[in-house]
Structure 1
């Protein structure tokens, strides 16, 4: 059913773009929409988070598989400041929900339960982005976007005194990222609709080490950083 819905949406947008490119009709919706300095909107979307691991030079017999716990979702707001016809500065505070499972390999784990760590994350994610657009073509306008962001992980358990010996995997609360992506503005009859896809890459180590310096869960990891893909639908 999800694949069928996605195919229908994709077909609808393909037909819309084709009509705008090849039709002789040049009626523009919302002709003055982009002229105000500030505009607002809201965001609904999906996310898929992963972890990237760098191991230290002493790591042996260790491999961590990240199993994605399904598609997460995002909800947020948009604040847009128009710089000129082609440049916009955007603030997109949102809440993102996601789940990841870490599966450890190695002889030191006696059961599947010991080798599995479930990580549920709730991020307050705040990106500041520069949007670079092309010239508007009838009722749509492609763009690329990039910038930096910060997040607050409400489920990090960074200050929890328990560690993996008590079954508690801990991550840092604050993380900074860089982001890059692209999308298309569609000017519909009553509002502007913008689907976009964006990659999100953490710039810092998010792992909180266990109290035991020889812990099989954290001692072999030099750096653990999130990376993800956001598919957002913006309504203005």
Structure 2
């Protein structure tokens, strides 16, 4: 899924960029747009989240079934210098991941098919603070790279739920910290600036809340579980 998403994004960016680079059109839209100290906008996007596991013992990997999610948010942009901007992009990111356990996790135990699968719903209120480094504008086209740190509040975490996996509740931590890196292209249209971008996000802290039983088949072998994901955003400024 991530490879297909990245491939789609790269093809999209390359096709539009080629049209801009090789077009004979020389009219520059939004000529003074980049000289604004402050600018605002919004974004819509697609997200694909995964988990990266670190295990205590050598067992079969827990498989993650990913489903595409929806993203929406606002953008505040502060011009620092000609090719550098500070961006704040608070947004809502909704996704679901399913954890698939191998039967070996339940050796010597009575279990059902439903015990081999746990649904992890996540509703993140995401607060990234990013630095954007742009190239020189070419006609109505300007590539950039972006990176920074972010925090997120997971409204679906179940962290304080007294029930754990023995009652069918997989719990994760509410507060998360990430680092983010990505790239994109600004396209200056007649009335607004349109920006497709791809960004990878990687959690810095462990997200799992262990079950009360230290030998739980669902969490006992997990030393750490960290979110990682890919965002495909379309920005309008």
Distance 2:23 2:164 in 1: 62
Matched, 1:139 2:152: no
Partner of 1:93: 90
Q: Is the 8 A contact 2:152 2:175 kept in 1?
A: yes
Could you say if the C-alpha distance between residues 16 and 104 of structure 1 is closer, same or farther in structure 2, counting changes exceeding 3 Å?
A: closer
Shift of 1:61: 3.8
Q: Is the 8 A contact 2:21 2:141 kept in 1?
A: no
**Aligned match of 1:66 in 64, 67, 70?**
64
| Matched pairs, number | 227
Distance 2:121 2:144 in 1: 33
Distance 1:158 1:14 in 2: 43
Partner of 1:51: 51
Distance 1:31 1:45 in 2: 27
Partner of 1:79: 76
Q: Is the 8 A contact 1:61 1:106 kept in 2?
A: no
Partner of 1:149: 150
Cα deviations across residues 7-54 of structure 1 (Å, max 9, x unaligned)? 8xx67x656433432233311000011111000000100000000000
Shift of 1:112: 2.0
Q: Is the 8 A contact 1:157 1:171 kept in 2?
A: yes
Which secondary structure state, in structure 1, belongs to the residue aligned with residue 138 of structure 2? coil
Distance 2:19 2:218 in 1: 55
Residue segments in structure 1 that go unaligned for 5+ positions in a row: none
Q: Is the 8 A contact 2:197 2:233 kept in 1?
A: yes
Residue segments in structure 2 that go unaligned for 5+ positions in a row: none
Could you say if the C-alpha distance between residues 16 and 67 of structure 1 is closer, same or farther in structure 2, counting changes exceeding 3 Å?
A: closer
Cα deviations across residues 45-94 of structure 1 (Å, max 9, x unaligned)? 000000000001xx2544310111x2101000000000111000000000
The 5-angstrom pairing of residues 69-218 of structure 1 reads 70-107=67-104, 108=106, 110-218=111-219
Q: Is the 8 A contact 1:43 1:235 kept in 2?
A: yes
Q: Is the 8 A contact 2:74 2:91 kept in 1?
A: yes
Q: Is the 8 A contact 1:62 1:106 kept in 2?
A: no
Shift of 1:118: 0.4
Could you say if the C-alpha distance between residues 19 and 217 of structure 1 is closer, same or farther in structure 2, counting changes exceeding 3 Å?
A: closer
Q: Is the 8 A contact 2:62 2:101 kept in 1?
A: yes
Normalization by structure 1: what TM-score?
A: 0.91
Normalization by structure 2: what TM-score?
A: 0.91
